[in-house]
Amino acid sequence: MMQPSEYSVLFTRNPEKGQPKMNILIVANRENGATIDTLYQVIAYLDMQGIGHVELDVSQLPDSSFVYSGKPASDILPDLESQVDLVVPLGGDGTLLHTSRLANVLNAPILGINFGHLGFLTNSANNGAIPLLADALAGEICQEQRVNLRIDVICEGDEDEPPTEARSFYALNEIAVARGAMGHIVDFDLHVSGDRVAHLRGDGVIIATATGSTAYALSAGGPLVGPSHRGMIVAPLAAHTFKSRAIVTEHHDIVEVSLAEGSASAHEVSLFVDGDALEFERPISSVIVKTGERPTVLLNRHEESFYKKIARTFFE
């Protein structure tokens, strides 16, 4: 059973007022028919239990800049002004990745229910969503604290003309610095905690969390890393050298990717945060990545260990 903590999810009624003490946010990918059926089942179950709930479609979720924008969750939906104690995304890993941005602002744990493909981050819905939700309500599901990333982007000219909005972004999986539309090679310096590690030329670089080690970073030759690791994975993309290596950092390290001012790389490089493209009004000077201050908390039934899952997915 999950040990009590600030993230324990124990839902009970308020016996004095007869009102629910807890509130759940449900995020549904409505493009999936099975998700819609489960959404209505979950709503009916929560109503029967007297537990408050709010619903969002994935299309209403904020982008990766929202976490560090200083804006309240109620900007997304006024009902989110009240405390949210649990976030339940219905969909695949992609739905959970996008939901985690809002969950971070709400400081709420996530119970992902899988209706996608791999389901590395979500729980299987094979035995039904209601028993899974009931276990979460009883506090009988394990919690995992996953490291996420804070990404700060500096553009040329920021010293003379500061940007009107902060360029800080959140990622649960990774940030990819990659070739732009013209296909020019990315030419960059890689620093870790102030030390210049390498000058690299190639398709770019991926900076991932342990959670993201099974995603894009893996295709770049990065290692599979246990989900509790608190550092980052730095994996060059098709570097034009035989000396290129992936790096696994410590939790406190800061990774910086620097592009030469005025270079083709600075003008044409593309940035992708958990698969979403970022756009800027000026050429990029550097990308600074560190682990976020607040972890992303996932609730997981653990029907299969991480190592059994990677064995089945990647080695069989």
How far is the CA of 239 from the CAs of 225, 284, 291, in angstroms?
22, 20, 25
pLDDT tens sequence across 30-85: 888 889 999 999 999 999 999 999 999 999 999 999 999 999 999 999 999 989 99
Q: Is there a shared CATH topology between the 13-146+295-315 domain and the 149-291 domain? A: no
% pLDDT > 70, the chain:
93
Q: Report the pLDDT averaged over residues 92-97.
A: 94
pLDDT number for residue 12: 46
Interior CA angle at 127 toward 123 and 130, to 5°? 80
* 26: nearest Cα among 91, 116, 75: 91
pLDDT tens sequence across 281-300: 999 999 999 999 999 999 99
- 172, 146 in Cβ contact below 8 A? yes
- For residue 8, pLDDT over 50 is answered with no
pLDDT category, 303, cuts 50, 70, 90? confident
Q: Report the pLDDT averaged over residues 178-201.
A: 92
CA distance 263 to 265: 5
pLDDT tens sequence across 132-185: 999 999 888 999 999 999 999 999 998 888 887 779 999 999 999 999 877 889
pLDDT number for residue 15: 45
* 289: nearest Cα among 150, 191, 154: 150
Cβ neighbours for 87, distance < 8 A, ≥ 6 positions apart? 24, 25, 27, 99, 102, 103, 106, 108, 109, 110, 111
- For residue 17, pLDDT over 80 is answered with no
- For residue 212, pLDDT over 50 is answered with yes
Q: Which fold has domain 13-146+295-315?
A: Rossmann fold (3.40.50)
Which residues carry out catalysis? 93
CA distance 278 to 288: 15
pLDDT category, 4, cuts 50, 70, 90? very low
The bridge status of strand 255-259 relative to strand 142-146 is unpaired
CA distance 211 to 224: 9
How buried is 252 (Cβ within 10 angstroms: 0-12 exposed, 13-18 middle, 19+ buried)?
exposed
> 149-291 — its CATH code?
2.60.200.30
pLDDT number for residue 231: 98
pLDDT category, 262, cuts 50, 70, 90? confident
Strongest mean pLDDT among 30-44, 98-112, 264-278: 98-112
% pLDDT > 90, the chain:
75
- For residue 9, pLDDT over 50 is answered with no
pLDDT number for residue 266: 80
CA distance 215 to 284: 25
Q: Where are the domains of the chain?
A: 13-146+295-315, 149-291
Helix, strand, coil distribution of the chain in percent, nearest 5: 25, 30, 45
pLDDT number for residue 42: 96
- For residue 90, pLDDT over 60 is answered with yes
Q: In what order do the strands lie in the sheet with 276-278?
A: 247-248, 233-237, 204-208, 174-178, 270-273, 276-278
- For residue 117, how many other CB atoms are within 10 A of its CB? 9
